[in-house]
Amino acid sequence: MRHLGPWDVRDRRTYKNGPQVASGDYCVKLTVGETVSIQNFTLLTDPRILSLGVTEAEIQQQEALGLELIKLLTEVRKYIHGLEQEKKSAQGARLEYIQAQLDSFVMEEGIYMQPKIINQIEYLYASINGPDQLPSRDAYARFSKLKALVESTKSEN
């Protein structure tokens, strides 16, 4: 079971591949025509994961960081999409500003290009969205730096 993933401009990829949900009590709602069925259930952690020494608290921390990264990734993707749409009709100084922002956020096409902000966020998200484990201190530090970088880059004029 997974949360919704980040927004994507491509409809078939939007909200896909979210972080796995931690164990706990959940509710499912099924609607078929006029009939609505609601059922509560408890989701348990795979005991094989727990036998490896991974704790419920670590899984919850991984889930929480994944959700924060989804928010940041969605924000940046929507920001980039908005800039790309505005670029189509922009002129002069506004066009230069938009291009500078896009150059900061989006990697150029080619071989061995420098990863930009969006690529770094996607990489961090992919690295913590895998096996059940406690995200490293480096992952939290990188998230904080990327979040600050997004805000400072967006505020540049």
Helix (H) or strand (E) holding 41: strand 35-43
- CA gap 111, 9 in Å, rounded: 24
Domain annotation covers residue 1: no
pLDDT at residue 157 in the model: 61
Based on its alpha-carbon atoms, the radius of gyration of the chain, rounded to whole angstroms, reads 19
Domain annotation covers residue 60: yes
* DSSP helix/strand/coil, 17: coil
pLDDT in tens, 98-135: 999 999 999 988 888 889 999 999 999 999 987 778 89
pLDDT at residue 156 in the model: 79
Domain annotation covers residue 2: no
Domain annotation covers residue 5: no
Range of the domain at 57: 11-155
Amino acid sitting at position 23? S
Q: What are phi and psi of 45, to 5 degrees?
A: -75, 140
Burial zone of 135 (CB within 10 Å; 0-12 exposed, 13-18 middle, 19+ buried):
buried
Tally of domains within the chain: 1
- CA gap 91, 46 in Å, rounded: 56
Domain annotation covers residue 16: yes
pLDDT at residue 22 in the model: 92
Domain annotation covers residue 4: no
Q: Read off the pTM.
A: 0.87
Domain annotation covers residue 91: yes
pLDDT at residue 134 in the model: 85
* 115 contacts: CB under 8 Å, gap ≥ 6: 107, 123
Ranges under pLDDT 70 in the chain: 157
Domain annotation covers residue 6: no
Q: Which two tokens stand for residue 135?
A: 């995200």
